[in-house]
A and B are shown apart, each in its own frame.
Chain A
């Protein structure tokens, strides 16, 4: 069990309101990801759920019971910190055993759970090392191991992969996703990397300045962003946002087209521009297109390899059914 409900939760640091009144329900077994730009209050929200910060007003329910005044230890949640927060003077085994030792789990059961976690996380060979003698990825797994053995109602992750290199990050992303499939425990995951959010989440919560901009499945957010902010934030590379006459032609203040929804044609495109930087990824190529008269720059995805060079003229056709329209308040027009 691990349903978490926030009702009208706010948080002030001194006079500054970091989280304005916020309602959110995280269902049991769901993998929920908080994304948003730096400083938008993701960590703060997670720490409020964990109980490491007191909420200023509102209620937090865990499995329907009021947990607002309950201490972090008693909420039955486990947290994995960005810095891993391993205990440096304890061996990996002792690190993983620590929460069980505090809970008074008997020795045989402790060993059983450590063995199980170590096998699942590929840590068996490192159990007697100190955290200082491990690589970043291994430390990360120890931190996860320490969280697993508590058999918590929910896991809280605060940017757990941001200290890892790109290849390792992809690997750990998969491992965490698999862990979630296997344990079927609620997970709340904070990141500012929208690729992580898209690939791992059942549900994404997009935050800006403490406000929830949109909640939905990754594809919901991709297909129907509720406003300009979400449209620009979800998707990689970013959606092209166009204002002015071209937008007016579609009866909107702003229109948005994703780079993958613009076709390159030989001649007579609706839009034309000059090719700038080309990012060749092998499978795809992203062209930066300038001088279109629509926006500073448009990004266009072309599958495979294309013979266009810096300075060439390029003709573009946006797919009509993939144009997102937004009004002057930035909200989506259906």
Chain B
């Protein structure tokens, strides 16, 4: 798209899509903004008029607000760390020539196809159940007292469940990136006297930089709004109440649409802060 004519043609062509997307985004956002300035209690009187910034102040100053922000960030951070580190390791492993490679690859990708609700229920009942769960049996086998995962290590449990779901995604993206690495570069480094770990550090990792950036950015978008995993496991108790879950409680359990909307706006702001930080840290990799 070098010439003036082709640029304006391109703009014209893109317009319908951009307008549709904008409308799709703007309408709900504007409605949220609208409700956030109202006292709106559907089962207790409905629309009770404008209240200014009341909802914002109440949501912000409630004792649940900061813990929920922290819980959200801990989950996002924990899952990102696990998926990126294990994603790289798995991708390297899957890149090695081995028997039954095709089947193993499909198996590794499989968790991504399982719905979040289902996978969370499976984890909750089959693995983490303190009486019948596989982990409980394992602990008992070694003579230890079973852990009540979802209450004693609630945050860890949620992070494990969500990381398990997202690991295939990270692995897949990183695997394609590893496969695109020119093997002659690794051989050149080998001849230059770099031992395996240095080869990984100096050649493979920089090559993966961009793929890691993509994984981190995309996962962050989805992880900021995880809900089902919390809903079917801890229901927000034991310190696992994320911002999303808090908003859900305000809107549906307390039937306070105005307060929930204000929380929604806070969530948007938080997402943007996180996005700006991420762009600062990793986004520059996308420029090159």
Interface residues, chain A, with chain B CB atoms under 8 Å away: 50, 52, 71-73, 77-79, 81-83, 85-89, 98-99, 102-103, 146, 150
B189 in contact with A98 (CB, 8 Å): yes
Partner of A72, one of B190, B198, B206, B207: B190
Partner of A98, one of B195, B202, B206, B209: B202
Please report the total number of B residues contacting A with Cβ < 8 Å: 18
Q: Is B182 an interface residue (CB 8 A)?
A: yes
Partner of A85, one of B182, B193, B202, B209: B182
Are A83 and B182 also in contact (CB < 8 A) when A89-B206, A98-B202, A102-B198 are?
Answer: yes
Q: Closest CB of chain B to A98's CB: distance in Å? A: 5
Q: Is B270 an interface residue (CB 8 A)?
A: no
B192 in contact with A102 (CB, 8 Å): yes
Distance between Cα atoms of A82 and B188 in the complex (Å): 11
Question: Which residues of B lie under 8 Å from residue A52 when comparing CB positions?
Answer: 187, 190-191
A87 in contact with B189 (CB, 8 Å): yes
Q: Closest CB of chain A to B159's CB: distance in Å? A: 32
Q: Is B194 an interface residue (CB 8 A)?
A: yes
Distance between Cα atoms of A325 and B198 in the complex (Å): 57
Q: Is B185 an interface residue (CB 8 A)?
A: yes
Distance between Cα atoms of A24 and B91 in the complex (Å): 41
Question: Which residues of A lie under 8 Å from residue B287 when comparing CB positions?
Answer: none
Interface residues, chain B, with chain A CB atoms under 8 Å away: 182, 184-185, 187-195, 198, 202-203, 206-207, 209
Question: Which residues of A lie under 8 Å from residue B192 when comparing CB positions?
Answer: 73, 98-99, 102, 146, 150
Query: How many A-B contacts are there with CB distance less than 8 Å?
Result: 57
Q: List 28 A-B contacts (CB under 8 A).
A: A52-B190, A72-B187, A73-B193, A73-B194, A73-B195, A77-B191, A78-B191, A81-B187, A81-B188, A82-B184, A83-B182, A85-B184, A85-B185, A85-B187, A85-B188, A86-B188, A87-B202, A87-B203, A87-B206, A89-B206, A89-B209, A98-B189, A98-B192, A98-B202, A102-B192, A102-B194, A102-B198, A146-B188
Q: Closest CB of chain A to B249's CB: distance in Å? A: 47
Question: Which residues of A lie under 8 Å from residue B190 when comparing CB positions?
Answer: 52, 71-73
The chain B residue with its CB closest to the CB of A71 is: B190
Overall SS of chain B's interface: helix
Are A103 and B188 also in contact (CB < 8 A) when A85-B182, A87-B203, A89-B207 are?
Answer: no
> What are the 6 closest A-B residue pairs judged by CB atoms, nearest first?
A99-B192, A85-B188, A73-B193, A85-B184, A102-B193, A89-B206
A73 in contact with B191 (CB, 8 Å): yes
The chain A residue with its CB closest to the CB of B190 is: A72
Question: Which residues of B lie under 8 Å from residue A78 when comparing CB positions?
Answer: 191
Q: Closest CB of chain A to B236's CB: distance in Å? A: 44
Q: Which of B187, B192, B195, B207 has the most CB of A within 10 A?
A: B192
Question: Which residues of A lie under 8 Å from residue B203 when comparing CB positions?
Answer: 87
Distance between Cα atoms of A50 and B188 in the complex (Å): 10
Distance between Cα atoms of A88 and B202 in the complex (Å): 11
Distance between Cα atoms of A83 and B194 in the complex (Å): 19
Question: Which residues of A lie under 8 Å from residue B206 when comparing CB positions?
Answer: 87, 89
Partner of B184, one of A81, A99, A150: A81
Q: Closest CB of chain A to B227's CB: distance in Å? A: 39
Distance between Cα atoms of A72 and B184 in the complex (Å): 13
Q: Closest CB of chain B to A93's CB: distance in Å? A: 15
Distance between Cα atoms of A82 and B182 in the complex (Å): 12
The chain B residue with its CB closest to the CB of A102 is: B193
Q: Closest CB of chain A to B107's CB: distance in Å? A: 27
Distance between Cα atoms of A73 and B187 in the complex (Å): 10
